[in-house]
């Protein structure tokens, strides 16, 4: 007897939306979908409202939820710039991701683009949230959870003070505690 494969999070979002008969999706419907995801997938089902909204928008649903991370046609400039930037698969990937976010943040700051600056900070917040959720997932090994906790801390600290983050990270990676936990990690 074969186990039925568990659908992906995207597939579940669309399935839940269909099952509940949502024709218009607002925050209330997004929260119901998120609750159903958690019930189905456990802790790994937890996701952001903007992720759910984006999946539904991509599928052509009528989504009436506004969030700076929700993709709209008017946001195409930002969507292209942020495409594939967020990653926290490893310490190296997280550092590379933060460097790209930092470059975009400073570019927007130099241009006086407050929306762009806010988008970079929200992207870092998303990285922090997702890494934090993974750090609490008991299904992952202790070493992976520890790494995700470190990555979450990086995203959080960058968001609090991007101007001094890189000096802090350089010192952090040289610390005995970091070296003992993660070994020698150089910049990507």
Tens of pLDDT, residue by residue over 20-48, are: 998 888 889 999 999 999 998 888 888 88
**Euclidean distance between CA atoms 79 and 43, whole angstroms:** 28
Please check the confidence at residue 93 and state whether its pLDDT lies above 90.
Answer: yes
Min mean pLDDT across 18-32, 66-80, 108-122 is at 66-80
- Is this model's pTM higher than 0.85 or not? no
Structure token pair of residue 51: 């992720």
């Amino acid at each position: 007897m074969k186990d039925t494969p568990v659908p992906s999070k995207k597939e579940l979002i669309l399935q839940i939306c269909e099952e509940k008969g949502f024709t218009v999706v607002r925050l209330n419907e997004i929260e119901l979908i998120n609750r159903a995801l958690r019930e189905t997938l456990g802790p790994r089902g937890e996701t952001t409202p903007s992720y759910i909204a984006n999946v539904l928008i991509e599928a052509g649903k009528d989504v009436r939820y506004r969030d700076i991370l929700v993709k709209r046609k008017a946001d195409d400039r930002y969507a292209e710039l942020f495409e594939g930037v967020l990653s926290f698969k490893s310490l190296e990937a997280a550092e590379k991701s933060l460097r790209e976010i930092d470059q975009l943040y400073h570019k927007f700051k130099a241009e006086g683009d407050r929306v762009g600056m806010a988008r970079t900070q929200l992207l870092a917040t998303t990285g922090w949230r997702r890494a934090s959720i993974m750090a609490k997932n008991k299904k992952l090994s202790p070493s992976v959870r520890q790494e995700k906790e470190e990555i979450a801390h990086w995203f959080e600290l960058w968001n609090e003070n991007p101007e001094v983050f890189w000096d802090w990270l350089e010192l952090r990676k040289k610390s005995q505690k970091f070296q003992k936990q993660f070994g020698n990690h150089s910049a990507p």
